[in-house]
């Protein structure tokens, strides 16, 4: 645990508790994102125990946003246009509700609005084309602790230390 404490002091990062810190380093390692501030900012948010524990730390092998919506996979065989080689592609089919919206997983849908907005922040910091995040709306849902998480996530994305 001393090693983790040294990392925190060296980087001056804010963590809500030791579990948050440990989860963060596990996710950064899993997604090979030590030098990737986009991934690291999302990992920082997903590492919050309130979020991390709902998925047992498993957010998706292909990317950290897979866990939010229900989907089925199917194998599709296709032929390469140039080489004519056959290959199998794994296709993802997202479940939709009667309005055509993707169906959320229980892990995501049962989070409080403040944590859901943090996840949307993380998605936006990870990929700015993810446009469902509204800062003014989010600020009204966060307590002081989650405001600190927001600030730290932005600093991680900017690849800056806390001063």
Interior/surface letters 10-40, b for 16+ CB within 10 angstroms, e for the rest: eeebbbbeeebbbbbbebbeebebeeebbbb
State the pLDDT at residue 59: 84
Q: For each of the chain's 163 residues, which pLDDT tens digit applies?
A: 444 444 444 358 999 999 999 999 999 999 998 999 999 999 999 999 999 999 888 887 777 888 899 989 888 899 889 999 999 888 889 999 999 999 999 999 999 999 999 999 999 999 876 678 899 999 999 999 999 999 999 999 998 765 4
State the pLDDT at residue 107: 93
Q: Are residues 156 and 23 in contact, defined by beta-carbon separation less than 8 angstroms? A: no
State the pLDDT at residue 120: 93
């Amino acid at each position: 645990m001393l090693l983790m404490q040294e990392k925190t002091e060296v980087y001056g990062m804010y963590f809500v508790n030791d579990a948050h810190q440990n989860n963060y380093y596990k996710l950064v390692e899993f997604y090979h994102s030590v030098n990737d501030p986009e991934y690291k900012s999302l990992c920082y948010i997903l590492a919050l125990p309130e979020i991390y524990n709902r998925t047992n730390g498993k957010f998706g092998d292909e990317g950290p946003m897979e866990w939010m919506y229900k989907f089925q996979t199917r194998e599709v065989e296709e032929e390469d246009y140039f080489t004519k080689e056959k290959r199998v592609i794994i296709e993802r089919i997202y479940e939709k509700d009667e309005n055509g919206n993707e169906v959320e997983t229980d892990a995501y849908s049962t989070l409080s609005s403040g944590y859901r907005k943090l996840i949307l922040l993380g998605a936006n910091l990870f990929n700015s084309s993810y446009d469902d995040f509204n800062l003014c709306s989010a600020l009204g849902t966060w307590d002081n602790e989650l405001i600190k998480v927001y600030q730290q996530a932005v600093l991680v994305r900017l690849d800056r230390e806390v001063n």
